[in-house]
Amino acid sequence: MNRTRRSVLALAALGALAVPTTACAQPADDELLATGGTSGGGPPSTTGEGEPLGPRVADDPDAIAEAAVQDVSDYWRVTYPEVYGDEFEEVAGFYPYGPDTEPPPCGDPPPEYELIADNAFYCPIDDIIAWDAASFLPAINEDFGGFTVAIVIAHEFGHAIQARAEAIDRTVDRELQADCFAGAWTGHVSAGEAAGFSPADVDLNQTVAGMVAIRDQPGTDPNEMMAHGSGFDRVTAYQDGYENGAEACEPYADEFEDRDTVEELFTREELANEGNLHLEDLGPDAPGLLTLLELDLNQFYDELFGELGADFEPVADLVVVDPAEDAITCGGEQLQGGDLEDIAVYCEDENVVVMDGPGLMEDLNSRIGDFAVGAEIGRLWALAAQSQLGVTGESGAGLQADCLTGVWSVSLTLPEVTPDSDLSTSPGDLDEAIQGFLAYGTALDESVGTVFERTDALRTGYRDGYNGCEEFAPLG
């Protein structure tokens, strides 16, 4: 996050090959996404359904890739005519490769292994899909589970579809369309319509983890030749395909109009701190994130309640506790010691938000970034707003809180919503919110949904505003 508010925000491959290809591997160093849980002894991360968040590793990732080739081919034989009105032309070939195999026949001469190691790509010149079966797919399998191996194949198949449809657009839009196509195929599997996979094979949480990890670095120019999109952009495209089918993906490739993305360049100020603001105040002229969040969130909900025809009572305080030293009263109960470890709650009777500072807050901030803290505090403010609107107890209340956090995140780019606050988002902030979901799962609140559902709720608020949040529960 950043203290200098911007008034506008774009909204609603690792090595050069000898021939043009679509190479789709990106740096993936977010280890918390693969393992789930926390590094500081915090609660184990779960899916939202009580299961551990870690990957379901397959015994034979090569077999999964082969099954995906067959099943995705079957899917496009039926779907391509429905979307594009033409008969589907079979892909010329599929080539797993490694350091000790013949290189895939892409160009003349074909690329050396060093140029395509740890990658998967579609080669338009020879109409083949190839992947590194020696290191890349095994790593994807270990880090994100077997089904994510199939997603890699489905994504590359998306580029083959683009070649057949003669899609022309900037790179990032074509990459997001391929993510959307992969989501559409996943929806096909989840519906029980795939011959080679069953709905039980689908692991949406780990797919989200993989897309957030295998993303552009924050601050990437979306117009760069190799841009693939932020984690939020990629997951948004994937979920669009999953929910709405391949027909929803077709408009992504439009040579005359760029898609709205949240990926953007860092400002000079953001480059200096990688878009992260200090948490604590450094003096009267240097307020920290926590002070600014309290001011901004109270102003945002005052504005939102005004649109709903209601009055918002500001949250009285953001209380940062140290479990080793502090004791508080929450809901009329005395909490101290272990009660406060990894705590993140809204205390309705006291009208305060409470968060573990040296444990949870420090973990989110140091391992992920400042908006992982901001999004969690934003969720707690949403719970306060729901309490005042009488939403508590609704089955969709937990997801609605994430949706409202998405609405608030948009307001950070609109000075007129909170005119007395100069807090704004920075590139990568929404990725950090999703990473927070992945790191803690249901450990902070058992009423929230799965990581996939929470991410979908966040993007609903971001894209559709507070009216979109009523799909989860009525706002008053």
d(CA 451, CA 473): 19
Residue of 363, 278, 358 whose CA lies nearest to 321 = 358
- The amino acid occupying position 152 is V
DSSP letter assigned to residue 442: T
d(CA 295, CA 345): 18
Residue of 411, 397, 405 whose CA lies nearest to 475 = 397
HEC string of 387-398? HHHCCCCCCCHH
Residue of 355, 371, 284 whose CA lies nearest to 322 = 355
d(CA 232, CA 37): 21
* Contact criterion met (CB below 8 Å) for 196 and 219: no
Which residues share a beta bridge with 424? 2
d(CA 34, CA 344): 23
Per-residue tens of pLDDT for the chain, all 476 residues? 765 432 222 222 323 333 334 556 444 344 444 333 333 334 334 444 444 456 889 999 999 999 999 999 999 999 999 999 999 999 999 999 999 999 999 999 999 999 999 999 999 999 999 999 999 999 999 999 999 999 999 999 999 999 999 999 999 999 999 999 999 999 999 999 999 999 999 999 999 999 998 888 888 888 788 888 999 999 999 999 999 999 999 999 999 999 988 888 888 878 888 889 999 999 988 999 999 999 999 999 999 999 999 999 999 999 999 999 999 999 999 999 999 999 999 999 999 999 999 999 999 999 999 999 999 999 999 999 999 999 988 889 999 999 999 999 999 987 777 777 778 888 899 999 999 999 987 666 777 889 999 999 999 999 999 999 999 999 97
Residue 146 is encoded by which pair of tokens?
């077997």
* Contact criterion met (CB below 8 Å) for 12 and 413: no
Rounded to two decimals, what is the model's pTM? 0.87
Using the CB atoms, write b or e for 328-366: b if 16+ within 10 Å. Answer: bebeeeebeeeebbbbbbbbeebebbbbbbebbbebbbe
Residue 286 is encoded by which pair of tokens?
């240097």
Only one residue has tokens 């890699």, namely 152
Residue of 358, 360, 180 whose CA lies nearest to 253 = 180
Residue of 454, 469, 459, 420 whose CA lies nearest to 11 = 459
Helix axes 204-213, 146-165, angle to 10 degrees: 70
**Cα Rg of the chain (Å, integer):** 23
Predicted local confidence at residue 54, as pLDDT:
67
d(CA 294, CA 404): 16
Q: Could you tell me the CA-to-CA distances from 182 to 47, 201, 234 in Å, in that order?
A: 21, 15, 11
Q: Could you tell me the CA-to-CA distances from 378 to 56, 324, 471 in Å, in that order?
A: 31, 25, 19
Backbone φ and ψ for 354, nearest 5 degrees, come out as: -125, 135
Only one residue has tokens 């604590």, namely 280
Helices (H), 93-170: 113-116, 136-144, 146-165
Predicted local confidence at residue 31, as pLDDT:
42
DSSP letter assigned to residue 424: B
d(CA 365, CA 282): 17
Backbone φ and ψ for 238, nearest 5 degrees, come out as: -60, -45
d(CA 350, CA 346): 9
Coil, strand, or helix at residue 86?
coil
Predicted local confidence at residue 150, as pLDDT:
97
Distance of CA 249 to the CA centre of its chain: 18
Residue 428 is encoded by which pair of tokens?
């990568």
